[in-house]
Amino acid sequence: MNFNLTEEQQMIQAAARNFARERIAPVAADFDQSGEFPLDNIRAMGELGLMGIEVPEEYGGAGLDTIGYVLAMIEVCAADAAHGTIMSVNNSLFCNGIFKHGSEEQRERFVRAVASGAEIGAYALTEPQSGSDASNMKSRAIRSADGSHYVINARKSWITSGPYARYIVVFAMTDPEAGARGVSAFIIDTEKPGFSCGKTEPKLGIRASATCEIELADYECPADCLLGSEGEGFKIAMGVLDAGRIGIAAQAVGIAQAAYEASVVWTRERKAFGREIGRFQMIQSKIADMKSRLEAARLLTLHAAWSKQQAQASGARFTLDGSMAKLVASEAAMWIAHQAVQIHGGMGYSKELPIERYFRDAKITEIYEGTSEIQRMVIGRLETGLR
């Protein structure tokens, strides 16, 4: 077992850390307050290679591995989880899925634009009536008689980056009778007629990542924008989420790390009863548990990234590792952020410090890309072989 990072992994980690400290951390609170989308930073992150970390350089990405992606996500999310959400959707849910399942033409047209940060990508699976029960979708795609295009009617909700995305991977039923096997995936261009955005969600956390409903009304999708084959969409969606969950685990580690580090500093500076609060055993106990859970989450997340890299050659699934990493890291982040608020007392509750933002941002990691309950279900089914 070798825990040393390669030179390339160290480089992307340092690049992400520098950008996060210089460009993201100073503006994070303002973007959180206003809910404005940090478009300039996202474009600049694209120029640094942070929007398509695993995409080969010849397609506009950084050409690095999943461990590099995880390391960069941790750095960005330690500064601001909302930037990390936009980054993770571009990387995991958009670029990786199209790179893996797309045609050469789709890679050239869609991956290059999003990986370089010139355009923003999104992923639309959830519908108003189907979140966890993802295959229970009402969206429909009907192939035209001459086979040249599909007519899509769809309503999707909770679409991260929806209002700013140029391209979105949308899942719709081409064969409603076939259930999950009747789902197909399409890459849609939001500048074409038939696409519209609905209400933007007023969210508890990750407020600078714009999240909205989208609607496709008789949208004509050219047949060459079908991703993979007809009926393959649900497996594509699930496989993409396996990778996406590793990104969310990394996001959780980043938030937890920021909350933990701020807490350590606070325990050295804040005095009560005539001494630093870090001298009290009850505070030391919290710090010990926070640090242990943080590092356990980090290891599981890096292990899941390694597991995905190993699976790339064999084509094996890494579902179990992705789900375990997301489950453990998201719950660690929520718990650590909770302790951080408690350690900071009143100041943990105030918007003068970022602690309350870590607390609000941590919560989403237990919800999106599969709730903790769904991760437990996935792990339980895989381990017992029962359902």
- Annotated active-site positions, please? 369
- Specify whether the CB–CB gap between 1 and 8 falls below 8 A: no
Candidate residues 301, 319, 339, 365; the one interacting with ligand CAA per rule CB under 6 A = 319
- What does the alpha-carbon distance between residue 215 and residue 198 come to, in Å, rounded to a whole number? 7
171 binds ligand CAA (CB under 6 A): no
Which residues on neighbouring strands pair with residue 161, listed in sequence order? none
Give residues 59-118 in contact with ligand CAA (rule: CB under 6 A): 89
Question: Which is closer to ligand CAA, CB of 168 or CB of 256?
Answer: 168
Identify the H or E element spanning 222: strand 211-222
Which of the stretches 63-71, 99-107, 232-240, 271-279 binds ligand CAA when contact is defined by CB under 6 A? 232-240
Strand 167-173, strand 121-124: pairing: parallel
Q: Total residues at the site for ligand CAA (CB under 6 A)?
A: 23
Both tokens assigned to 264: 């350590």
In the complex, the smallest distance separating the C-beta of residue 280 from ligand CAA, rounded to whole angstroms, is 39
Token pair 């030179």 in the structure block, residue: 7
- Specify whether the CB–CB gap between 372 and 327 falls below 8 A: yes
Residue 371 class from Cβ within 10 Å (0-12 exposed, 13-18 middle, 19+ buried)?
middle
Residue 114 CA, chain-centre distance (Å), reads: 15
Packed helices 66-79 and 233-269: angle between N→C axes, nearest 10 degrees: 50
Instruction: Compose the 112-151 pattern: x for residues touching ligand CAA by CB under 6 A, - for all others.
Output: -----------x-xx-----x-xx----------------
Strand 183-189, strand 226-227: pairing: antiparallel
In the complex, the smallest distance separating the C-beta of residue 185 from ligand CAA, rounded to whole angstroms, is 13
181 binds ligand CAA (CB under 6 A): yes
Question: Which is closer to ligand CAA, CB of 279 or CB of 317?
Answer: 317
Question: Which is closer to ligand CAA, CB of 15 or CB of 379?
Answer: 379
Candidate residues 238, 287, 353, 379; the one interacting with ligand CAA per rule CB under 6 A = 238
186 binds ligand CAA (CB under 6 A): no
In the complex, the smallest distance separating the C-beta of residue 159 from ligand CAA, rounded to whole angstroms, is 6
Candidate residues 78, 111, 187, 241; the one interacting with ligand CAA per rule CB under 6 A = 241
Candidate residues 46, 68, 121, 370; the one interacting with ligand CAA per rule CB under 6 A = 370
DSSP string, 128-166: TTBSSSTT----EEEE-TTSSEEEEEEEEEEEETTTT-S
Q: Using CB under 6 A as the criterion, which residues of the chain lie in contact with ligand CAA when the complex forms? A: 89, 123, 125-126, 132, 134-135, 160, 180-181, 234-235, 238-239, 241-242, 317, 319, 368-370, 374, 378
